Each structure stands twice: as C-alpha cells, then as structure tokens.
C-alpha cells in the first residue's frame, strides 16, 4: 500500500475528533469510525441530533455542544446534513473536516465542500479513516486500493 497522504496524516495527528452521524444502530459506518478511533486512543466524540447516548457513551446533539477544542470533525451523515455540520464546525473554529465516502455519494455535498474552502478549512473528500488508521483490516485495504484507482480517496 502506498504511503499515507499528508492531509490524512495531518488529520490523524489530531487527537480530539468529533464524528457526526453516529447512530443508535451500531452497524452504521459512522459507528465503525467512532469505535476505530476510540480503540486507537483518540478522544472520539459521537454526534447525533436525536440521541443522548450511543455505543454506551454520551452523545452530543451537535458540534456546538462539545466542550473544549476539537482537532477535527468527520462528517458521516446524509449529504443533506453536511452543510449544517460544516457551519457548526466553522463556528467552533475547527480547521479540519473529513467527508466520509466509499461507494456512492457517502456524506459529500458539494455546497459543504465549497463552504470549507471559503472558510479556510482543510477538507478531505472521500475515503474513510478506517482505510488509514492502523491497523487497517484487509477489507479496508482492498477498498482503499480500489477506490484510489477511481480517484475517490485522498491521494
């Protein structure tokens, strides 16, 4: 596998990361990202506007309700919610956002990506932290390889 892109490495050097889109259904992609980061030693903070608890921990209703600084935000919501998450992140002074996407549109909304650019936020469009955060499982290594050939992950 090729070296980790610098933008991804910079994002993963942050230790306090909010994951927007974590669900009460543990089978969702956002939940897998939350668990991976938590288990890798990150201060991973689940965000869901209608849940008070997910994965047996406190869940934040929005980015604004999280106390203290944030090193980054992962958007793993429906694309319709992405702009709201970006605007909340801007208000908090977040400097890095990662839009989750493997197959299909994922969480990417062009208007949200443009808002990041206009606000000076470093924006990763596509891929998933599970494709880069060690140890990477076989399935995510394969997905990263395949999606890289289609230009759908950070390169």
Q: Is the peptide bond before 96 cis (omega within 30 degrees of 0)?
A: no
Asked whether residue 1 carries a pLDDT value surpassing 60, the answer given is no
- Binned at pLDDT 50, 70 and 90, residue 2 comes out as low
- Binned at pLDDT 50, 70 and 90, residue 104 comes out as confident
pLDDT, mean of residues 137-149: 92
Q: What is the pLDDT of residues 18-37, one digit of tens each?
A: 999 999 999 999 999 999 99
Q: What is the pLDDT of residue 154?
A: 85
pTM score, two decimals?
0.94
Angle at 13 between CA 10 and CA 17, to 5 degrees: 105
Asked whether residue 98 carries a pLDDT value surpassing 60, the answer given is yes
150 vs 43 pLDDT, higher one: 43
How far apart, in whole angstroms, are the C-alpha atoms of residue 102 and residue 58?
27
Topology (CATH level 3) of domain 6-149: Rossmann fold (3.40.50)
């Amino acid at each position: 596998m090729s070296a980790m892109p610098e933008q991804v490495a910079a994002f993963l050097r942050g230790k306090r990361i909010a994951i927007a889109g974590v669900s009460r259904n543990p089978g969702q992609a956002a939940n897998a990202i939350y668990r991976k980061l938590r288990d890798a030693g990150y201060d991973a903070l689940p965000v869901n506007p209608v849940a008070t608890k997910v994965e047996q921990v406190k869940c934040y209703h929005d980015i604004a309700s999280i106390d203290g600084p944030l090193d980054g935000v992962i958007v793993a919501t429906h694309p319709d919610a992405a702009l709201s998450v970006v605007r909340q992140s801007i208000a908090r002074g977040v400097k890095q956002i990662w839009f989750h996407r493997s197959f299909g549109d994922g969480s990417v909304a062009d208007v949200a990506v443009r808002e990041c650019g206009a606000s000076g936020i470093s924006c990763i469009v596509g891929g998933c932290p599970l494709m880069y955060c060690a140890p990477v499982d076989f399935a995510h290594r394969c997905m990263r390889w395949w999606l890289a050939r289609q230009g759908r992950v950070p390169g």
